[in-house]
Amino acid sequence: MNRRCFLSATLAGTAAFDVLARQAPAGRAESGRKQVLLKAGHQGHSADDDLRVLAALGVNHICSALPSRTFDDNWSLGGLLRLRERIERFGVHLDMVPLPLSSSPIGRAENPHIMLGKSPERDREIDQICQIIRNVARAGIPAVKYNLTILGVVRTTSTRGRGGARYSTFVYDKAEQGPPPVESGAVNEEAMWERITYFLKRVVPVAEECKVRLCCHPHDPAMPRQGYRGVQRVLGSVDGLKRFVDIMPSKYHGLNFCQGTVAEMLKDPGKEIYDVIRYFGSRGKIFNVHFRNIKGGYLNFQETFPDDGDMDMIQALRVYQEVGYDGMIMPDHAPQIDGDANRAQAFAFAFGYIQALIQMLSRER
């Protein structure tokens, strides 16, 4: 999203939501009411212009944009301190930063050897990730998020949704069934788990020592058991995520819980998602929430506006509150509205929707 378009269009589209958010700030404890600790959050936009918008909208907790794709001075203690201090000047808290382990396909990914399983290159890359974690801790940043993927995010042609907006869509039967990626070749389930476990055994002890939370995003979307293009998607099922969090028993090892991605694993998200939230939330494994909705489910879905999907987002937020989650609730994958080239208006709607739901929870006895 272009920073200038995000600034101007978001401010234009959210004046009413800003008034609502200022009436009763989320998290205020009132007599006889349970305190709500959920926080409206955002990710990926941390330029000064963006921070002015977010602060005006009461979105005071963020995950920054990626400081750098390479291990340069932006990842040093000084670089991270400058990042945090600049963000805090706008009254915004830097709750986490993304590691250079993005959702890009392996051919465009940072530090690809970690998921290619190639040593000694992966050892060098993991050592650098560990140093980033140490610097993050010393800079006073409590969490990092990351992906462990080969295929990246897979979608088919978008489809029209409410008001003609284009919804990101995945229909497995229409997906291109090409050969395995040239960089990785076919990767079976055993190899995927070996590479994931190898990474976790190296980085989780460092995160635990530094008290930095590691937030891993699931594979998006779920695929059949045989995988896709010869690659297994082991973090694309609820059972896979359960196995993942159990590999290293640590309160600093958990999930960037993308509610939309998890819903894509389910045959009936409107009924099943709440127990999945309870499972991971009650175990303290939800460190961040991507709060998005879908229509459909396993192998056939659209990504919708938050109020236009099959999941009851009010009920979902109540379950996060029920299990004691106190982190960010952030929009993700906003639909594309014609005339809103950078999705600024769609994100503005999502910010206001999240702020209003948090306020509603704060008023419920």
For the chain, helix, strand, coil in percent to 5 are 45, 15, 40
pLDDT (0 to 100) of residue 26: 40
Q: With bands split at pLDDT 50, 70 and 90, how would you rate the model's confidence at 317?
A: very high
Distance CA 145, CA 236 (A): 17
Distance CA 266, CA 264 (A): 6
pLDDT (0 to 100) of residue 365: 60
Domain ranges of the chain: 37-363
- E strands, the chain, are 39-43, 61-63, 93-98, 143-146, 156-160, 166-171, 213-216, 253-258, 286-290, 293-297, 300-304, 328-330
* pLDDT tens-digit series, residues 228-270: 999 999 999 999 999 999 999 999 999 999 999 999 999 999 9
Structure-token pair, residue 169: 């869509």
290: helix, strand or coil: strand
pLDDT above 90 covers a percentage of the chain that reads 89
Assign domain 37-363 to its CATH superfamily: Divalent-metal-dependent TIM barrel enzymes (3.20.20.150)
Strand order in the sheet with 166-171: 156-160, 166-171, 300-304, 293-297
* pLDDT tens-digit series, residues 155-193: 999 999 999 999 999 999 999 999 999 999 999 999 999
- Phi-psi label, residue 222: left if phi above 0, alpha if psi -120 to 50, beta otherwise: beta
pLDDT above 70 covers a percentage of the chain that reads 90
261: helix, strand or coil: helix
Q: With bands split at pLDDT 50, 70 and 90, how would you rate the model's confidence at 341?
A: confident
Rounded mean pLDDT of the chain?
92
pLDDT (0 to 100) of residue 364: 87
Element (H, E) at 354: helix 344-363
Total-model pTM: 0.91
Phi, psi dihedral angles at 93 (to 5 degrees)? -95, 135
Could you tell me how far CA 139 lies from the centroid of its own chain?
Answer: 22
**21 has a pLDDT exceeding 50:** no
- Identity (one letter) of the amino acid at 343? R
Q: Is 9 exposed, middle or buried (0-12, 13-18, 19+ CB in 10 A)?
A: buried
